Chains A and B, each alone.
Chain A
């Protein structure tokens, strides 16, 4: 009842939504979360380097940058964008996961299932072996198109637009499209021969080439998409009550669907374009957020974003320590952490 009250009284203007979201995150749990994120961020600025960076270097680089010092330059022009991008991508994926789960009312929906990752990977691999018209575009455009294509295919073929859509059908369509795209990607890898290992690194999700230019591509798109995402909070809260209840309370379900899909697509496509497929974050973060902060989307969306950011940040840090000096793609780390958690989740959900 409380949720319904909250939802009905909720303000609809974007500015107020934003304020409400930000102020709702002020409990002790949130502070711990921020601390985790901050700690991960700071450590990833200086962790595992050939230059033995210290926290002091990072501090100096921030307050009085010295362009002659190689350590400070490494922090400012390599580590800083990488850590920022890790956080923002984590944020994007966390938010995208919440939106998907909220819309489909399926707690197991995630960007991976929607073939967004494998779509991007597939087109990227095809373009790098020189498949005619694809390789003419810049790589960022290609991956973006791939992500969008994969997502749309699953959504349409899975009956996402039909009035009584079935989660099972969506999952099946996801499985089929994913398998198809993955095998095409593998074929491309086989044909690419001596380039294969260079491709594979990106295909596993890697932040090692993230730089300021990527940051400039990432943040505007993310900002727009995150604002759209926040604006759907009220709709998602209503949607949680069931489609019929929602529409009887005056909500336009189709408009909500379109907004959510747009936001999810932008968030995940831009992330996968820059870092490759980082799997399971969009699945884990929302669940953790839900168990910590409940089901109110005003709270859930930002919280899941923060959790996602912390997760990717720490995974990226960890990825540098596994087989130094080589880096392990961060997507592999998230998958290794994510799977046991996911299995636990599926079984727990089932019991309830």
Chain B
């Protein structure tokens, strides 16, 4: 919460600057600030949530750190941007590949890339913003900041208003439907995403309750079957990392019947890319849609 207040202040601050000086635009970010003389045309982004923000702004990035797999950018975002070049993985993006694209703006993740900030600024002005571990509310402010940098405020403002209306709509449809939990599973266990994660914070935004105790401060929580039993959520949304998961095992156990989710088929399989990896606005809408669809059935 502390961060979001800072972001708000920074945003207001940069806005007031913008209104006083119409050409030299100054934007503050997590590692300093940049001034723009002209609107950037060639943008390289190093995290998926920023691709989402650019898609809303109607700007196609020339390069994305997509881990060498274009399908990791979710379809809704892919449909809204033109083709791009891969600049390597998010954990170690190739600086030469970025430089070869000759960008005039780089948007990097302040969590992952703070050690290469100096290098990035040598290639092009760089915005350091939070992507890893970002929550829904934090991301809204980041979207506005990116909009400001690529000079698409009015378009993004409009889209944000529409987005908030949609979310409100979903919220009304979803009210009082019990507790909701998102988790990822693999063959070796289940990890619950708490309200401090992106999916968790979207669920919280829709005024749905989380079965996790409020004392929990962890982002991801490993959960054994026993813990799932004691949390007993009304709805479970599962992103599977592998074809087989512990869930298959658990469903065969006699204890499975004691869970609320077993009674009314309230386990919904969803895409881990959308729910966990993308962490953008379009992703949030897709999450909300899937939640509503599941409840309607």
Contact = CB atoms under 8 A, between A and B. Distances in A.
Interface of A: 49-51, 67, 70, 73-74, 77-79, 128, 138-139, 190-191, 193-195, 197-199, 201-202, 206, 208-209, 211, 213, 325-327
A193 B91 contact: yes
Interface residues of B, number: 33
A194 B276 contact: yes
Given A49-B226, A50-B230, 11 more contacts: A50-B229, A67-B254, A77-B253, A194-B276, A194-B277, A195-B186, A198-B184, A201-B188, A201-B222, A206-B189, A327-B224
A73 B253 CA distance: 10
B6 to A, nearest CB: 26
A52 B90 CA distance: 44
A78 B246 contact: no
A193 B67 contact: yes
Interface in B78-108: 89-91
A70 B258 contact: yes
A70 B230 CA distance: 10
15 contacts: A49-B230, A50-B230, A70-B255, A77-B253, A138-B244, A190-B91, A191-B89, A193-B91, A194-B272, A194-B276, A197-B191, A197-B220, A198-B191, A209-B224, A327-B222
Contacts, number: 82
Contacts of A202: 188-189
Nearest to A328: B222
Contacts of B218: 326
Nearest to B243: A135
Interface in B175-233: 184, 186-189, 191, 218, 220-222, 224-227, 229-231
B263 interface: no
A69 B221 CA distance: 27
B241 interface: yes
Contacts of B276: 194
A73 B220 contact: no
A74 B67 CA distance: 41
A51 B230 CA distance: 7
Given A194-B277, A208-B224, A77 B189 contact: no
A128 B229 CA distance: 27
B75 interface: no
A46 to B, nearest CB: 12
B242 interface: yes
